A and B are shown apart, each in its own frame.
Chain A
Amino acid sequence: MYVAVILILVAVGTVVFHFMSPWWWTPIASNWGFIDNTIIITFWITGVVFVAVILFTAYCVLRYRYQEGRRAEYEPENKKLEWWLTGLTGVGVAGMLIPGLFVWNQFVNVPAEAAEIEVVGQQWNWSFRYPGKDGVMGTSNVRLINDDNPFGLNPDDPNGRDDVLVDGDDLHLPLGAPVKVLLRSIDVLHDFYVPQFRAKMDMVPGLVTYFWLTPTRPGTFDILCFELCGIGHHAMRGSVVVEAKEDFEGWLGEQETFAQAMRRTGTDKALALRAQQ
């Protein structure tokens, strides 16, 4: 008796906890509300199955408790019932998978108008790069990285000269404009995640990975590293500021470009020298 009651309490308690829980996802700040919707669909479908299975189990425990001398029913198979259950499960699975893949299709197809930005990860901090006036990122190579060129940009690539480099400051993004976030790591795996954006991707040395989003809410949000990257993993934090386009542009104008950085460190002279020889 009490076993059945506890099973029922577990099922009911789980549902109550679900609806009463003060812990739920952070309010969204990007276009990926579709992801939240898919989660809601999944919750409903799986929640119904969970409750139904546990309650049915509790019912069986109650109704078919052991009685001396009683025999269990002997019915090894019931084709019809088994096919029905299989079919219904198939429908439920399709009900989750189809919307899921539909949204995934949007996730993998980056809109053509998305502006590119780059996030570079290393143990244990973030830096950011914008393509500059020409809208094109200059090429980069890990082998070119040194103290004067922390991004490893190719100094001979004209596209890179006007790239804006942000090292040790927040990431800024314009409100309402789609961005393709290019991700690069120079040492180990990292992962760029802003919980309010819902989208994340690992950063892999040797690869450029990406995802895209449109920020939909102004504010300052936390950036967290979401892939174990050594003892400083939990401290690899940053902030992203989402702001109106004008403010964003104002801020961007104040940042240093690669050309300016080369001038500051004297790298450009060395380059010019090399060109003369």
Chain B
Amino acid sequence: MVDAAHDQVDFVPPAEVEEMELYHPKSFLTKYVFSQDAKVIAIQYSFTAIAIGLVALVLSWMMRLQLGFPETFSFIEAEDYYQFITMHGMIMVIYLLTALFLGGFGNYLIPLMVGARDMVFPYVNMLSYWIYLAAVLILLASFFVPGGPTGAGWTLYPPQAILPGTPGAEGGIILMLVSLAFFIVGFTMGGLNYVVTVLQARTRGMTLMRMPLTIWGIFMATVLALLAFPALFVGAVMMTLDSLLGTSFFMPAIVHMGEQLSYGGGSPVLFQHLFWFFGHPEVYIVALPAFGIVSDLISVHARRHIFGYRLMVWAIVIIGGLSFIVWAHHMYVSGMNPWFGFFFATTTLIIAIPTAIKVYNWVLTLWRGNIQLTIPMLFALAFIVTFVNGGITGLFLGNVVVDVPLSDTMFVVAHFHMVMGVAPIMVVFGAIYHWYPKMTGRMMNVAMGQIHFWITFLGAYAIFLPLHYLGFLGVPRRYYEMTDTTFIPASAQDLNAFVTVIALVVGAAQLLFLFNIGWSLVNGKKSGPNPWRATTLEWQTAQTPPGHGNFGKELPVVHRWAYAFGLPDATEDYVPQNLPPDQLNSDYDNSKLSPDTPQAAE
């Protein structure tokens, strides 16, 4: 059977998935507010993350206004600017992208795609969201305390983070650290759920090597996060103690503004090691889910199996492992022993190999495919462009000696925005356009999607590409304003003004996207259960959106990998994972593939 060309494993006996006891909500409150259903939790996570993300977006406009038109806006002073970059960076990385990919997409997709009724620990899963919400509220509260939020940069480096001279050194930094601690506690609750669900609750036949890459990406990212966040957690606790109790974990002897402080003996570089031991894997915590999801978008919309599935899985695993031994590439000029440079440059450049393989395999999936240029596919293409661009500038910064002139310049800002800002956000958009029909039963409007896509993709590229060149020039990041220098030509300011204008346009285009989400909910074309004719289990549910418990009386049984597109001996160009092998030439009917759900039967 051609079907098994990839996947020679015979039918795998049930990984003993017993019917789980589902919690059945009785009131509106337990159904939609304190819900234990992963799908509802996913939507709560997503809305909260997008809402706080909008705050970060508005902050980016403020920063761009200042950079593009310095000395024009009297309401943006130096300390505001530093507070804006800090809050913008932290929100984007942690409270938006991490929460959205894992808490949002993870919750929605893991149970559905592995064929489970829900997460394994639904109650803890619910707590996870509420603690995340508390973290977000604490973070927002820091805008309103005396002194405002911290302006220490999203890296929060001590000593400055907790010394006056940095905005928010009184209250803001403490709230930031407390908020991070809450986030980590909440995340751990969710994260354990995702990992255990993937390992223990897969349906019969869903071997690890048959899982969609989306699940692999989210799973591996969660493992990384569970191992990396504790380093940030202890760093946050120690810094809080330094600040409130006068301990000296990170604080050496210091003379500050002419005064001898009572600190002594601590190490600022120690904090940087803790921060980046978390911070580098964090990049992959955002990137791996994006890798996984984009693989599925490309495969479904190119009507072709993912190319080199096994290598794709191994690349995810290897990248995840290696990401724990490259952290000090963020510290080449931190004053740590310079001999470390040899080791960290080598490990960093080695990561490029599995990463490049992933890129090749995405493109080779398109090759000889049957490509539908749907909105999700357009975003996937944009991901490829921006990710390759941002990835190669990583090879500059990872190569220790090249990092020496470029570190802390606009080149770095351009690099990380391209690779972990723009590229993953492209995937977020693509994924929303892709799964929206499953979540709502309606398609998103295509015309609005097209406009949103082109402005966002070309705009974001035009914002960040030229910034690399300002970095070459030697324009520093985190500068409130660039007063006269001997080496920066006046044209650099024109470029900055141009970038600001584009950034505002791109920002406005996001409002169109939000509008489309709301508009399509009422006016969107009815999608039916499987509008993209995709193979994975979430598209085979009887109800759309899937009901409580996800599947019918029986959990689906999986017969093949997630990428059975273009099988020569099947009638359709795709074969759902749970279609019995003897029915390759029948009509795929969701109500037959997955008969009535317990709820529908009620």
Contact = CB atoms under 8 A, between A and B. Distances in A.
Interface of A: 3, 6-7, 10, 14, 17, 21-26, 32, 34-35, 38-39, 42, 46-47, 49-50, 53-54, 56-57, 60-61, 64-67, 70-78, 81-82, 85-86, 89-90, 93, 96-97, 100-101, 103-105, 107-108, 122-123, 141-143, 145, 147, 152, 183, 186-189, 191, 193, 195-196, 198-207, 209, 211, 220-222, 224, 226-235, 237
B335 interface: yes
B530 interface: no
Interface stretch (B57-65, B153-161, B278-286, B426-434): B153-161
B489 A201 contact: no
A50 B476 CA distance: 26
A67 B368 CA distance: 12
Nearest to A39: B402
Contacts of A24: 469, 472-473
A183 to B, nearest CB: 8
B341 A104 contact: yes
Contacts of A232: 78, 165
B531 interface: no
A67 B338 CA distance: 57
A233 B546 CA distance: 53
A204 B353 contact: no
Contact of A207 (B269, B352, B373): B269
A206 B253 contact: yes
Interface in B339-370: 339, 341-342, 345-346, 349-350, 352-353, 356-357, 359-361, 363-364, 366-370
B350 A200 contact: no
A82 B359 CA distance: 12
18 contacts: A10-B458, A22-B491, A66-B303, A71-B566, A72-B303, A82-B308, A89-B352, A93-B395, A101-B346, A108-B338, A108-B341, A187-B257, A188-B165, A201-B335, A206-B252, A226-B407, A233-B478, A237-B483
B6 interface: yes
B395 A143 contact: no
A57 B466 contact: no
B254 interface: yes
Report, nearest first, the 5 A-B pairs whose CB atoms are least far apart: A206-B252, A195-B474, A72-B304, A46-B392, A188-B160
A188 B486 CA distance: 27
Interface string B149-171: 00111000101100101110000
Contact of B353 (A73, A89, A234): A89
B419 interface: no
Nearest to B561: A76
B269 A23 contact: no
Given A23-B470, A56-B363, A100-B401, 8 more contacts: A10-B385, A50-B392, A64-B367, A100-B345, A104-B342, A222-B486, A231-B166, A237-B483
A100 B399 contact: yes
Contacts of A152: 255
Contacts of A26: 473-474, 487
Interface stretch (B38-46, B130-138, B260-268, B582-590): B260-268
Given A24-B473, A104-B341, A188 B363 contact: no
Contacts of A49: 356, 388, 392
Contacts of A14: 389, 465
B495 interface: yes
B216 interface: no
B532 interface: no
Interface string B261-302: 000001111000000000000000000000000000000001
Contacts of A222: 485-487
Contacts of A56: 363, 367
Nearest to A190: B160
A202 B166 contact: no
B275 to A, nearest CB: 13
A61 B371 contact: yes
Nearest to A143: B253
Interface of B: 2, 5-6, 78-79, 82, 151-153, 157, 159-160, 163, 165-167, 252-258, 260, 266-269, 302-305, 307-311, 333-335, 338-339, 341-342, 345-346, 349-350, 352-353, 356-357, 359-361, 363-364, 366-373, 378, 381, 384-385, 388-389, 392-393, 395-396, 399-402, 404-405, 407-409, 458, 461, 465-466, 469-470, 472-474, 476, 478-483, 485-487, 489, 491-492, 495, 563, 565-568, 573
Contact of A23 (B334, B400, B466): B466
Contacts of B393: 46
Contacts of B350: 93
A82 B483 contact: no
B371 A42 contact: no
Contact of B335 (A53, A73, A107, A209): A209
A42 B566 contact: no
A200 B356 CA distance: 30
A100 B402 contact: yes
A153 B403 CA distance: 33
Contact of B79 (A73, A196, A209, A231): A231
A53 B383 CA distance: 12
A80 to B, nearest CB: 12
Given A3-B378, A60-B363, A187-B163, A226 B408 contact: yes
Nearest to A208: B335
A125 to B, nearest CB: 12
B370 A17 contact: no
A101 B335 contact: no
Nearest to B301: A66
B334 A205 contact: no
B236 to A, nearest CB: 18
Contacts of B361: 82
A181 to B, nearest CB: 12
A97 B349 contact: yes
A142 B373 contact: no
Contacts of B255: 122, 142, 145, 152, 186-187
B496 to A, nearest CB: 11
Given A97-B349, A188-B159, A22 B402 contact: no
Given A3-B378, A228-B478, A233-B478, A60 B160 contact: no
A66 B373 contact: yes
Given A76-B563, A204-B268, A205-B159, A50 B388 contact: yes
Contacts of B2: 74
Contacts of A145: 255, 260
B372 A66 contact: yes
Contacts of B159: 187-189, 205
A45 to B, nearest CB: 8
Which of B254, B260, B310 gathers the greatest number of chain A CB atoms within 10 Å?
B254
Contacts of A193: 408, 474, 476
A254 to B, nearest CB: 24
Contact of B267 (A7, A17, A206, A229): A206
